Amino acid sequence: MNKTIDFSGFEKKTKITFKDKNLLKQAFIHRSFINENGNTGLSHNERLEFLGDAVLELIVTDFLYKKYPTHNEGELTALRSALVNAVIIAEVADKIGMNEFLLLSKGEAKDTGKARQYILANTYEAYVGALFLDQGYDEADEFVSGTLLTKTEEIVSKKLWRDAKSLVQEKAQEFVGVTPSYKVLHEVGPDHDKHFTVGILFESELVAEGKGKSKQEAEQSAAQNALKIKNWLD
């Protein structure tokens, strides 16, 4: 049963031992687990995710500000968006083994697609929030630096940081003479945790789709996917 997960395994993997073990466990509790298992004595991880999101943004912003002293605000914002991105964060979370410790309902546990990706990204943020509460900013900074910020060089070298919407508009006008438009194809989830699927269209042609926790994030994802499909990433 999920309730019996031994989080000391995760502590060994990360080499970070929590003072408050309940705080660590709470970071991994998805809302669906509480709904299915009733009163476990702990709440789900959404408040920790809210806190962790802000801590993570500050850590990434501080890092980029210092690392790239000649970049302007727009470039730094695009770089930060490329790092604090659900797909990248989910990759990092999976790499450090978070997937093995998730506390989910039976239904959620079966879904290993895009929904799991968002759960992993949210769990990473919740863990950052829990670590900040348990051990302070410096420990959270060290954890993020050792897991997520190591992706910076790859993002810069592959130019993944560029504003995909601006780039796809420039390329579409140059090569096919159209201005792309975006359409929300699907949205799921409660107001506080919406997930959007957005399509990018060249006139009436649906070129690609993208997903995100906001319409803006989904549009950027769709634009990035269109650039790959059209082979417009130089």
* Gap between the Cα atoms of 131 and 112, Å rounded: 26
Query: Which 3 state secondary structure label does DSSP give 111?
Result: coil
Q: Whose CA is closest to 196, among 181, 208, 206, 186?
A: 186
- Residue ranges of the binding site: 49, 122, 125
Known binding residues for Mg(2+) are 49, 122, 125
Q: How far is Cα 183 from Cα 210, in angstroms, rounded to an integer?
A: 10
End-to-end CA distance of the chain: 49
Catalytic: which of 108, 125, 134, 219?
125
Question: What is the number of other CB atoms lying within 10 angstroms of the CB of residue 133?
Answer: 19
Q: Which of 53, 108, 141, 217 is catalytic?
A: 53
Instruction: Indicate if 141 belongs to the active site.
Output: no
Q: Counting every residue, how long is the chain?
A: 234
Query: 201 in helix, strand or coil?
Result: strand
Active site residue 193: no
Catalytic residue annotation: 53, 125
